[in-house]
């Protein structure tokens, strides 16, 4: 999945994007899809790639005033800590939720 998620991340990874590059609905659909990959995948690399792509999409969405649903991510965070996931993933989730 690295190539697929990596391609999505590449589109949104620049902090200098000032104009719309995709429709708000597509951003929301990507968010939902990556949230599901992040929450339900048992493969660490998929979780890691998904949450880092989500971080870039979240930054883009804020700049474009696109509201994303954080409810599932918030629920996930309530159940996870350093004992059952990595610090890298927790930091990325916390950056999105703060």
- pLDDT tens track for 26-77: 999 999 999 999 999 999 999 999 999 999 999 999 989 999 999 999 999 9
User: Half-sphere exposure of 51 toward its Cβ, with a 13 Å CA cutoff?
Assistant: 27
Q: Which of 14, 15, 61, 55 is nearest to 38 (CA)?
A: 55
Contact 95, 56 (CB under 8 A): no
> In the predicted model, what is the mean pLDDT of residues 2-15?
74
pLDDT of residue 9: 76
- Residue 53 burial (CB < 10 Å; 0-12/13-18/19+)? buried
Q: Which residue has the higher pLDDT, 2 or 20?
A: 20
Question: Is 52 within 8 Å of 6 (Cβ atoms)?
Answer: no
Local structure of 34: helix, strand or coil:
helix
Sequence length of the chain is 98
Q: Is the pLDDT of residue 95 over 70?
A: yes
pLDDT tier for residue 13 given thresholds of 50, 70 and 90: confident
Question: Taking the model in full, what pTM does it have?
Answer: 0.89
């Amino acid at each position: 999945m690295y190539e697929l998620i990596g391609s999505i991340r590449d589109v949104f990874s620049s902090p200098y994007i000032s104009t719309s590059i995709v429709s708000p609905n597509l951003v929301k659909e990507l968010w939902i899809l990556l949230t599901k990959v992040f929450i339900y995948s048992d493969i660490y690399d998929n979780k890691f790639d998904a949450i880092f792509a989500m971080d870039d999409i979240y930054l883009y969405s804020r700049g474009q005033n696109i509201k994303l649903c954080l409810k599932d991510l918030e629920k996930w965070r309530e159940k996870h800590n350093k004992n059952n996931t990595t610090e890298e993933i927790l930091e990325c989730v916390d950056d999105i939720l703060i």
